[in-house]
Amino acid sequence: MRNKRWGLSGLIALLLIMGCISNAVAQSATTDSLDRRYLNTNSYHIGFGSTGTLDTYITPEKYSGGSALTLLSTHAQQRQGSAWTTRIQHQLNLSQGNDRAGHDSQLEGCYNLYAGRYYGWQLLDGRLQLQGGALLNFGAGAIYNTRANANNPVQARLFLNLMPSGIATYQLPWAWLKQRWSVRYEIELPFLGVMFSPNYGQSYYEIFSLGNYDHNIVPTTMVSAPTFRQQFSVLWRIGRHTSLSLGYLGDYEQAKVNNLKQHVLSHRLMLGVVRNFVIIK
């Protein structure tokens, strides 16, 4: 009888101890989750506009036209209580331009990956947010000239740039149509980089088939490759976590290396949607 009582008492004690441990673990997990909240922003934009291209490896002729498309995806994450933000952008540009006579056309396409870190400051009672940092810009693409008699109809584009960057976001103090509005400006400036380029008069057959290297991996600076990018947008908050965006994207990629000139100057009207949410890890 005594053993049964001790057995029942031991079972009750064990259950109480397990309950206390489970409660402590649950409280610890809850506290850890609260300490690891991440503020996330995802945005998706599509842009239409014009592009001007020049590549003297293919031809000294400049090409321009309004048949251009940009797809832009942005993800930003900031840990709650931290001033640091990580941003990753994927950008795809496609364009077609014509020469001045309108007889020949040139196709351009490029994928850009932007990855950077920013430190933020809150000013004007939180209405103005300033962010400063730097990002890496990796780009891969090509320019193709449709002329049948062209000796070198294609020029590959491959580059990596380190670019200082700044972002300013201002919450407008007034509401229109009972919705909140904000304006945003972003800029990326040239600093240092490296790019692939044939040398003047060198063919791709010499580079890849014969293996004749001739300064084809070229370091670049803000002087030899004055590439910069800017975005201006107006955001209209239509829900608790959703905003619509209308803006302008100017992407100016330029280089002068190996006695060759290249530029891809893009102007886009951007339309998009922005979503804010919280992730607990």
Of the CA atoms within 13 Å of residue 192, those in its CB half-sphere come to: 2
Alpha-carbon distance of 215 to 199, in angstroms, equals 7
Helix (H, G, I), strand (E, B) or coil at 138: strand
How far CA 238 is from CA of 72, 170, 174, 243, in Å, comes to 21, 17, 15, 5
**pLDDT tens string 79-115:** 988 999 999 999 999 999 999 888 889 999 999 999 9
On the question of pLDDT at 33 being above 50, the answer is no
- Pair (109, 19) in one structural domain: no
Contact call for residues 64 and 267 (beta carbons, < 8 A): no
Among the residue ranges 12-21, 38-47, 188-197, the one predicted with the least confidence is 12-21
Among the residue ranges 190-194, 230-234, 236-240, 247-251, the one predicted with the least confidence is 236-240
- What is the predicted pLDDT for the residue at 26? 45
- Pair (104, 27) in one structural domain: no
Percent of the chain with pLDDT strictly greater than 70? 85
- Pair (55, 22) in one structural domain: no
- Pair (2, 76) in one structural domain: no
How far CA 194 is from CA of 87, 138, 191, 250, 261, in Å, comes to 22, 10, 11, 22, 15
- Pair (16, 115) in one structural domain: no
Contact call for residues 158 and 204 (beta carbons, < 8 A): no
- Pair (9, 93) in one structural domain: no
- Pair (92, 194) in one structural domain: yes
Q: Domain count of the chain?
A: 2
CATH code of the domain in which 103 resides? 2.40.128.100
Please state, rounded to an integer, the average pLDDT across all residues of the chain.
87
pTM: predicted TM-score of the whole model, two decimal places? 0.84
Higher-pLDDT residue of 253, 240 = 253
- Pair (8, 91) in one structural domain: no
Choose among 266, 267, 187, 261: nearest CA to 225.
Answer: 261
**pLDDT tens string 119-177:** 999 999 889 999 999 999 999 999 999 885 667 789 999 999 999 999 999 998 876 66
- Pair (30, 60) in one structural domain: no
Q: Which residues of 190-229 are buried (b: 16+ CB within 10 A; e: fewer)?
A: beebebebbbeebeeebbeeeeeeeebebebebeebbbbb
- Give the structural domain span for 167: 39-280
- Pair (123, 54) in one structural domain: yes
- Pair (13, 109) in one structural domain: no
3-class secondary structure per residue, 215-264: CCEEEEECCCCCCEEEEEEEEEECCCCEEEEEEEEEEEEEEEECCEEEEE
The two three-digit tokens of residue 209, written as one number: 């088939």
DSSP-assigned beta bridge partners for residue 144? 107, 154
- Pair (16, 116) in one structural domain: no
Higher-pLDDT residue of 43, 22 = 43
- What is the predicted pLDDT for the residue at 118? 97
